[in-house]
Structure 1
């Protein structure tokens, strides 16, 4: 009788590890196929914007004296430092880092958390992960594939930054690219942990976004207190780590160890957590509802589903308004006699003086971000439909228009509320001209609503192409942010509804475009609801 020798422990451990990662390659290919549009758009937006910044800032600060003036102004202006961060050098590459590193790192973090939650908790919430796990898919394969997607996207951003800024110095370009990508990976792994802790994708995104907001606040407070990013609060923020890499300002390569350590710890924690729970379960399960229902209407259900998102957006807009209002006084000192900067502010905010132009430009930027909220809120309808949660509601005495109206009321009403909060924050931070600032915020509502109405129209007529609502919103954001910098022709800028509204404060009110955009928004929404009434659910 032949005896069987025991398998060595190390070999058995390797086999268990390989089984837990089985199917990772297939899941990675599937994820990249699903994100074949979204990932390249994010990479081009973040990496391409940063890489092309040398042309923009080179035109604005085209002499050594003007660049040196920026360094001097930022050292003396704590309110502007809280927004942009410190300047470590008067080279063009250092100015690009100063202006873009914090914002692009935040966008990379946002991209990463959306990607990871999309391919982990969202897959479990819809039931697709359970179906995949019935095949040869290891327990940790979905998490690994999602982190690899985030790694590929952040690597693409870093490569674009390096290629675009290599002419200013390869070391600085590499540090800037790795800093932005490093922040993205920190929040990718943080999202991976949140996806294990929570039961819904919405809550996982909310928790990670709250972490991003906290990182920004810590960075802003630290930068306001110190002109060289050395304050302890700055070091508590991953965005502050990207600043402290000091791209184009005497690179500190050892700061990369902070990114590597945070990613390693959070990844290990996510792997431990995913191995200790069942698919679809979480460590923070939802509490059971009351014995008797408290939601009596479709609008009440929509409010219950979207109130957390609106609260988070509202807090963000109020805080952003206070920050922008607080730095308004220092804008004139920063701009000085720089004609290029004055011309750019005029294109963004109108010909009404530096202060009014800056306020109008900030209001316009907040309005474009509010358009992101309204599209997200409108397309929650599509999520409810595709996840089959809308069908039980419609099986009762609830019509499709009434069901959709609850979500649309929160989408459009919430967007108006966000602009009111932004105006209140700006007025509070600036300390004067509250009426003019609130008027400037409210006048943008028709443009925001029209972008949301396009999303309603696409969802109602072509639900499988609902992503086109995001495409149009992204196009409007790109035109608004980059159009003035690249001096695009008016015909191209007119694609965005924001271009047709007056820029307040400082300019005269024009009622014709205001009312026209309101009418177009109403027509597009009505057409979308008519399409929703006539088409089949799920099949489109």
Structure 2
């Protein structure tokens, strides 16, 4: 057995030396996020009375749908309640990207074959990736624990909070390691991992809406930080269940790696056609071939998810109607079910923005893989880029419109409101300018800074989400929040005039055209 793991420590050291900026952000983000929330909470709630008053305001089903119930009305309880979902999602996404990058992507690029030319075991690469992921998550949790303790939040509750998001994020990383064994391509493994995370998050919302008292919640890593109950009678026994669940994907992924060939997946790769289809003779056809997997998978998922969301909207009526603190918001948005659907579609639009960044990333990968070959032919760079712009902008618009249509259909069936179909369709259409802003930003980075395109675009996405959360906590002003494209389509503010949305679309188009112009002037396939 030992020979299968030969060289694991050396590969761990080698992997740690790579992607240092990525790893540093992963390490520091949880601690910084907890510290920011703690300091802002101490400023916003100087007395227990102010905190208790805010606690009553926050205990409403619309917020509980995302964060779960507030277990302890104190600064420590508020901080853990407010940060746990973000910490799990952020650390979990970091974990999934890291594991897929150092397993399936390394095989796809031939790095694992190069490593195994030395004295290394067949399981060493996967074991090194999983162990590094666990170590980085543990270090991030330790830094967050030290920060919470230093700010006076209490050691036991802080320990429970940090162990909760550590276990959840690690479980998501182990799940990605298991998913990576099924596919030949890293993009398929990464997309499926994100799809599983989206499904878990959807179940998280539905369980919170329905009360959250279901034994199956223990199987969802996103529920563990709440089930462990930090600062509310900690239940560390939940970690035993978490550990048991985490062992299963780790053991399965190691067993599958041992059974399959290097570079192969458990799902056999489909053989290509001997001759291309007659229509496969243009750049748009090539763009469709490379973009269709991502587009169709997201389209199917959000159609089903939005329909289920609309059908479940009736559950919110009795729950939210008694929340006096939401009276103004509910009245402005047109009723309980309308308020719930407006906020949910707003969250869906933020998630669709991730699709825009992933679609733009495919354009960048196509440039590095096939750019020199294609551009050696009589092909203009603008035509090469425009083929993918159809999916960056048109694909994201289609996702938004289908989500609005399916949510409206579900709400019409669930609540009997015949106007829901048209209303939610046009409401989701109003979110498209904010989604397109990310397309413009990513295209500008593609033309100007291709090496940093992925990191900067996702970094800006995270920054805008942070601004959203800080604005909701009243920690930043409206002027600062206006830097985020989401601020112009949020249902929590008065609706903007159509001219503002048209201006946002024009700005997105200008950024995209500028990016293509810069692409035509720079070196092709610049790494």
TM-score in terms of structure 1 length: 0.81
1:41 paired residue among 25, 33, 41: 25
User: Distance between the aligned counterparts of 2:12 and 2:219, measured in 1?
Assistant: 35
Count residues in correspondence. 509
1:146–1:415 CA distance, 2 compared to 1 (3 A): same
User: Distance between the aligned counterparts of 1:440 and 1:281, measured in 2?
Assistant: 44
1:413 and 2:398 correspond: no
1:96-139: CA deviation from partner (whole Å, max 9, x where unpaired): 44454345323432221111101111122123333344345543
1:124 paired residue among 84, 107, 124: 107
Does the 8 A contact of 1:331 with 1:354 survive in 2?
no
1:367 and 2:317 correspond: no
- What residue is the counterpart of 2:466 in the other structure? 478
1:180 and 2:165 correspond: yes
- What residue is the counterpart of 2:184 in the other structure? 199
1:454 paired residue among 438, 441, 462: 441
Does the 8 A contact of 2:55 with 2:73 survive in 1?
yes
Does the 8 A contact of 1:219 with 1:233 survive in 2?
no
The offset of 1:380, in angstroms, is 1.2
The offset of 1:287, in angstroms, is 0.8
User: Distance between the aligned counterparts of 1:515 and 1:461, measured in 2?
Assistant: 25
2:270 paired residue among 275, 283, 287: 287
1:207–1:509 CA distance, 2 compared to 1 (3 A): closer
1:134–1:440 CA distance, 2 compared to 1 (3 A): same
1:201–1:496 CA distance, 2 compared to 1 (3 A): same
The offset of 1:243, in angstroms, is 2.7
Does the 8 A contact of 2:448 with 2:518 survive in 1?
yes
- What residue is the counterpart of 2:235 in the other structure? 252
Does the 8 A contact of 2:51 with 2:75 survive in 1?
no
Which shifted more, 430-439 or 417-426? 430-439
1:524 and 2:511 correspond: yes
- What residue is the counterpart of 2:84 in the other structure? 101
Does the 8 A contact of 2:137 with 2:170 survive in 1?
yes
The offset of 1:185, in angstroms, is 0.9
User: Distance between the aligned counterparts of 1:484 and 1:69, measured in 2?
Assistant: 16
1:83–1:465 CA distance, 2 compared to 1 (3 A): closer
User: Distance between the aligned counterparts of 2:284 and 2:261, measured in 1?
Assistant: 33
Does the 8 A contact of 2:209 with 2:316 survive in 1?
no
1:112–1:505 CA distance, 2 compared to 1 (3 A): closer
User: Distance between the aligned counterparts of 1:494 and 1:264, measured in 2?
Assistant: 45
The offset of 1:436, in angstroms, is 4.3
Does the 8 A contact of 2:167 with 2:242 survive in 1?
yes
1:418–1:133 CA distance, 2 compared to 1 (3 A): same
1:28 and 2:15 correspond: yes
User: Distance between the aligned counterparts of 1:534 and 1:107, measured in 2?
Assistant: 36
1:308 paired residue among 281, 288, 293: 293
1:313–1:43 CA distance, 2 compared to 1 (3 A): farther
User: Distance between the aligned counterparts of 2:501 and 2:213, measured in 1?
Assistant: 47
Does the 8 A contact of 1:321 with 1:426 survive in 2?
yes
SS in 2 for 1:411: helix
User: Distance between the aligned counterparts of 1:369 and 1:468, measured in 2?
Assistant: 17
The offset of 1:199, in angstroms, is 0.5
1:53–1:511 CA distance, 2 compared to 1 (3 A): same
Which shifted more, 423-432 or 441-450? 423-432
- What residue is the counterpart of 1:445 in the other structure? 432
The offset of 1:443, in angstroms, is 2.6
The offset of 1:300, in angstroms, is 2.6
User: Distance between the aligned counterparts of 1:426 and 1:49, measured in 2?
Assistant: 33
- What residue is the counterpart of 1:8 in the other structure? none
1:218–1:438 CA distance, 2 compared to 1 (3 A): closer
The offset of 1:268, in angstroms, is 2.6
- What residue is the counterpart of 2:254 in the other structure? 271
SS in 2 for 1:385: helix
1:469 and 2:451 correspond: no
The offset of 1:471, in angstroms, is 2.8
1:83–1:147 CA distance, 2 compared to 1 (3 A): same
The CA RMSD measured in Å over matched residues stands at 3.7
SS in 2 for 1:375: helix
- What residue is the counterpart of 1:381 in the other structure? 363
The offset of 1:397, in angstroms, is 5.6
Does the 8 A contact of 1:382 with 1:463 survive in 2?
yes
Does the 8 A contact of 2:107 with 2:262 survive in 1?
yes
1:277-298: CA deviation from partner (whole Å, max 9, x where unpaired): 3332222231102333233432
User: Distance between the aligned counterparts of 1:321 and 1:54, measured in 2?
Assistant: 37
Which shifted more, 247-256 or 141-150? 141-150
User: Distance between the aligned counterparts of 1:162 and 1:46, measured in 2?
Assistant: 10
Query: Unpaired runs of 5+ in structure 2?
Result: none
Does the 8 A contact of 2:4 with 2:124 survive in 1?
no
- What residue is the counterpart of 2:138 in the other structure? 155
SS in 2 for 1:417: helix
- What residue is the counterpart of 1:3 in the other structure? none
Does the 8 A contact of 1:437 with 1:504 survive in 2?
no
The offset of 1:249, in angstroms, is 2.1
The offset of 1:142, in angstroms, is 2.6
1:241 paired residue among 224, 248, 256: 224
The offset of 1:516, in angstroms, is 2.3
